[in-house]
Homo-oligomer: A and B are copies of this chain.
Amino acid sequence: MKHYYLVADDDQDTQFLIRKAFGNLGLSVPLQFVNDGEEVIDYLEGRGGFNDRETYPMPGLILLDLKMPRKNGLDVLEWIRESPFREIVVVMFSGSDVETDVREAYRLGVNSFIHKPTSFSDFQHVLSAVHHYWFGCNYIPRIGGDGLIGREKTPFKIIAQ
């Protein structure tokens, strides 16, 4: 079972760091990247070059930046929650930890709000936590098809520090 991520972030450095973090963690997770909010919608609707579902499969989870050109993360979130893709898990992954942004994201139905850490080791740590929590513990409905993406059998250990 592949756990596809759709990562929406206009910052190429962040895209690079996400790839690098998953690589370092030994997680060979299929990552798809888009660069702005309009592209998230195009991707989900299979328009604008994203029409081949073999190449651009429906994601299990969207990692969504907040501040993006064309359509920002909150606008995209609002669109998703009123769309046929409303059940999709959306994790805001943002440089912002401003209270009004966090509250607005929850008000609009985000599943979770993660603040991007500035140190790479913490950045890698939170991506590991995101992956293991959402795909290792949680059930996610498969979007655009039947079935669930289910919990793997105790795939990791948590060590309190």
Contact = CB atoms under 8 A, between A and B. Distances in A.
Contacts of A35: none
A159 to B, nearest CB: 4
Chain A interface size, as a band, is: 35 or more
A113 B113 CA distance: 16
Nearest to A92: B139
Contacts of A68: none
Interface in A1-57: 25-27
Interface string A123-138: 0011011101110111
A97 interface: yes
A147 B129 CA distance: 23
Interface in A132-161: 132-134, 136-141, 146-148, 150-151, 153-161
Given A112-B133, A122-B154, A128-B158, 7 more contacts: A102-B148, A114-B151, A129-B137, A133-B133, A156-B160, A157-B158, A157-B159
Contact of A129 (B109, B115, B136): B136
A106 interface: yes
Contacts of A151: 114-115, 126
A87 interface: yes
A-B pairs, 4 with minimum CB distance: A87-B106, A133-B133, A157-B159, A129-B137
Nearest to A81: B109
Contacts of A25: 160
Q: Which of A26, A125, A138, A146 has the most CB of B within 10 A?
A: A138
